[in-house]
């Protein structure tokens, strides 16, 4: 039961993030893309001919969820993004982004790898 609560909260956060992105003009391409042995990408979206691979982090505690975007996590997202583009035979501009949810605040950070 303990595992279900964070999973449910994470799913709700990703749904909220998807709605936010759509309001910002993004077209949602895919959610929870899983590249075996590489990792998962929470949301893949497109806007202005750029493909965005978006990691969603949320939290209700005093700990800021932005700190959960670690170099290791970014490496997994980057590798998964390259794998996605290779398997879909895509050659387009792309961005690795983060969407941080803190209570009622949304922060969208583009190009978190720069």
pLDDT in tens, 88-114: 999 999 999 999 998 778 999 999 985
CA separation for the pair 59, 12 (Å, rounded): 12
Tell the CATH topology of 4-109: Trna Endonuclease; Chain: A, domain 1 (3.40.1350)
Q: Would you say 43 and 24 are in contact if contact means Cβ atoms under 8 Å apart?
A: no
Q: What is the reported pLDDT for 1?
A: 37
Model-level pTM? 0.88
Q: What is the reported pLDDT for 34?
A: 93
| Model confidence band, residue 9 (pLDDT cutoffs 50, 70, 90) | low
Indicate the domain borders of the chain.
4-109
CA separation for the pair 62, 52 (Å, rounded): 28
């Amino acid at each position: 039961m303990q595992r279900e609560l964070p999973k449910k909260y994470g799913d709700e956060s990703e749904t909220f993030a998807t709605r936010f992105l759509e309001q910002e003009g993004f077209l949602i391409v895919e959610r929870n893309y899983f590249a075996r042995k590489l990792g998962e990408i929470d949301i893949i979206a497109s806007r202005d001919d750029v493909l965005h691979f978006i990691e969603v982090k949320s939290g209700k505690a005093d700990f800021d969820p932005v700190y959960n975007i670690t170099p290791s996590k970014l490496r997994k997202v980057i590798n998964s993004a390259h794998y996605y583009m290779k398997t879909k035979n895509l050659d387009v501009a792309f961005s690795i982004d983060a969407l941080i949810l803190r209570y009622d605040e949304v922060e969208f950070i583009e190009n978190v790898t720069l």
